Amino acid sequence: MKTVHHAPITDRKIRFALVGCGRIANNHFGSLEKHEDRAELVDVCDIDPAALQAAVERTGARGHSNLTDMLASTNADIIVLTTPSGLHPAQSIECSEAGFHVMTEKPMATRWEDALPW
């Protein structure tokens, strides 16, 4: 796994992408709205078409039905995972390996072994 170093962001808003547009995502949408002077939501992702459409309509972010595809096209600085916690290990690793910072709603993994990339 390569180490990616990011310079501090001082000249623009911090860009977020959010994966998992269910109930908990609304808390994050609200927080990003409160801090819109320094943060923006650029992409949302969900496998449920209705949840995805509702998130796109609320936020104006680009919608994606597949995490891998979103990671290939997003210009986000941070990926926020609000998916069910059992999905976090694989998703966190995928996002990290793609060079993104990751924030999870719940722990990245519930077992140490699940968080290892090998």
List of residues 6+ apart from 102 with CB closer than 8 A: 78, 79, 80, 81, 92, 95, 96, 108
CATH number, domain at 111? Answer: 3.40.50.720
Structural domain includes residue 60: yes
3-state SS of 77-96 is CEEEECCCHHHHHHHHHHHH
**pLDDT reported for residue 112:** 79
Q: Which of 43-57, 71-85, 104-118 has the lowest mean pLDDT?
A: 104-118
pTM for this prediction: 0.86
Q: List the Cα angle 100/47/117 in 5-degree steps.
A: 40
Structural domain includes residue 74: yes
**pLDDT reported for residue 35:** 97
Structural domain includes residue 7: no
Is pLDDT of 1 > 60?
A: no
Structural domain includes residue 37: yes
Structural domain includes residue 5: no
Q: What percent of the chain has pLDDT over 90?
A: 72
What's the number of domains the chain is made of? 1
Structural domain includes residue 4: no
Domain ranges, residue 59: 14-115
Structural domain includes residue 2: no
Structural domain includes residue 57: yes
> What tens digit of pLDDT does each residue of 2-54 get?
566 778 899 999 999 999 999 999 999 999 999 999 999 999 999 999 999 99
